[in-house]
């Protein structure tokens, strides 16, 4: 597999456009996204403004505190799409962590488009008043753990692994959401938290009395990078040019992956998926530069061989645009086969009704992947 990268009403964009262009998208749409103030939320709102100005579409952005709360409305068909991260895409597909609970299981996620800008990193920021220089310095420090957000927690764990640490080496401080964890860092309740470098909360932390520091990732430290990727295989070393404490500098050497990722499911209508993919491309000039890191949605930055499969409607558009290849289709088919193998294993285990579901599913899942010749992660 290639490795590149409680809801409340959010933004409802209502102003009528002067002359709306034509699209088959519905006039009212809803997406879920990360918390208010996050990079994902800010980008969704900017895209919503472009949808309104160009097509007269009202996009309601629903901020979710964690991966489960962002994915549940998508699973129920209450939103058209989710602007999510690896939690609501890759981990949901894998039935891993919180998605391994008996009421969840592997999800048939389908990608529409993704932000692969490379201008930002997804990293663990630490309070600037601690004198921390390396991730190994986090030993004994207070590190944020987000309840119900396996993506954020695995990502934090990956950075700890880079520093030769585990959760057992730090003081775990639980929070109910992404935003709360960063408020905790600002207010002195925790020392380190995970975010995209261009998150609004990271900027807020950088301007707070404690300040903010991003410990570096050195791609030359092969063993440390390998330890990181053993926990989170979607991470790749990357030099970010956009973000809190980074803007206007030579950049920050950390790591990153695709974020946000716009996803539906295999139940998403093909025509809707096609129209949304086309709109994301056609509207790009309208939302380009309107939020930090948003330029990664550009058509030439799309990765057609990511860790979750693309929707047939998106594939139809990318084929018309000349970007889809036989190699991309083979990769996509393999990912769908992976999802099907996981779904079959899930149904088999449900029929067995084991007493210890968590342990039984973890074993069953790995066995199914190995038997199918798929890469075993988590």
Q: Check whether 234 has a pLDDT greater than 90.
A: no
Tokens (6 digits) for 130:
């601690």
Measured distance CA(243)–CA(259) in Å, rounded: 14
Q: Is the pLDDT of residue 2 over 50?
A: no
Phi/psi for 12 (5° steps) reads -115, 115
Q: Are 178 and 146 in contact (CB under 8 A)?
A: yes
pLDDT more than 70, % of the chain: 95
149-153, 217-221, 364-368: least confidently modelled range: 149-153
Band of residue 8 on the pLDDT scale cut at 50, 70, 90:
very low
pLDDT in tens, 284-305: 999 999 998 899 999 999 999 9
Helices 150-162 and 222-231 cross at an angle (nearest 10°) of: 160
Strands 212-213 and 122-127: antiparallel
pLDDT attached to residue 20: 61
Q: What is the DSSP string of 126-185?
A: EETTS---SGGGGTTSEEEEETT-HHHHHHHHHHHHHTT--GGGSEEEEESSHHHHHHHH
For 213, the token pair is 């520091």
The pair of structure tokens assigned to 203 is: 């900027």
Pairing of β 171-175 and β 142-146: parallel
* pLDDT(64) > 90: yes
157 vs 35: which has the higher pLDDT: 157
Tens digit of each residue's pLDDT (9 = 90 or more) over 10-57? 444 333 344 468 899 999 999 999 989 888 999 999 999 999 999 999
∠56-58-59 over CA atoms, to 5°? 130
Average pLDDT over residues 127-146: 97
């Amino acid at each position: 597999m290639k490795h590149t990268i409680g809801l409340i009403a959010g933004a409802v964009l209502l102003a009528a456009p002067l002359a709306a262009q034509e699209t088959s998208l519905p006039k009212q749409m809803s997406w879920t996204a990360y918390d208010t103030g996050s990079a994902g939320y800010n980008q969704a709102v900017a895209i919503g403004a472009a949808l309104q100005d160009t097509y007269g579409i009202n996009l309601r952005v629903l901020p979710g505190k964690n991966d489960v709360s962002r994915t549940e409305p998508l699973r129920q068909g209450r939103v058209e799409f989710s602007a999510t991260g690896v939690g609501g895409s890759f981990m949901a597909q894998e039935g891993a962590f919180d998605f391994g609970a008996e009421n969840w299981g592997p999800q048939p996620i389908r990608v529409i488009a993704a932000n692969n800008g490379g201008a930002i990193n997804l990293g663990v920021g630490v309070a600037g008043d601690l004198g921390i220089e390396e991730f190994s310095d986090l030993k004994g420090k207070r590190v944020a753990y987000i309840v119900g957000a396996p993506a954020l927690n695995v990502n934090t764990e990956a950075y700890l692994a880079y520093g030769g640490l585990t959760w057992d080496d730090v003081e775990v401080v639980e929070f109910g959401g992404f935003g709360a964890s960063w408020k905790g860092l600002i207010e002195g309740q925790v020392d380190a938290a995970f975010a995209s470098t261009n998150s609004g909360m990271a900027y807020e932390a950088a301007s707070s009395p404690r300040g903010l520091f991003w410990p570096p990732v050195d791609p030359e430290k092969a063993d440390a990078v390998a330890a990181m990727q053993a926990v989170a295989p979607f991470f790749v070393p990357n030099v970010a040019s956009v973000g809190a404490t980074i803007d206007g500098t030579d950049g920050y050497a950390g790591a990153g992956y695709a974020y946000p990722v716009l996803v539906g499911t295999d139940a998403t209508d093909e025509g809707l998926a096609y129209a949304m993919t086309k709109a994301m491309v056609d509207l790009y000039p309208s939302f380009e530069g309107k939020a930090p890191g948003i330029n990664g949605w550009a058509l030439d930055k799309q990765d057609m061989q990511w860790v979750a499969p693309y929707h047939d409607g998106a594939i139809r558009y990318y084929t018309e645009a000349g970007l889809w290849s036989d190699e991309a289709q083979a990769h996509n088919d393999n990912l769908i086969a992976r999802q099907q193998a996981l779904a079959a294993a899930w149904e088999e285990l449900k029929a067995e009704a084991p007493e210890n579901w968590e342990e039984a599913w973890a074993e069953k899942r790995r066995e199914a992947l190995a038997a199918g010749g798929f890469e075993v992660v988590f």
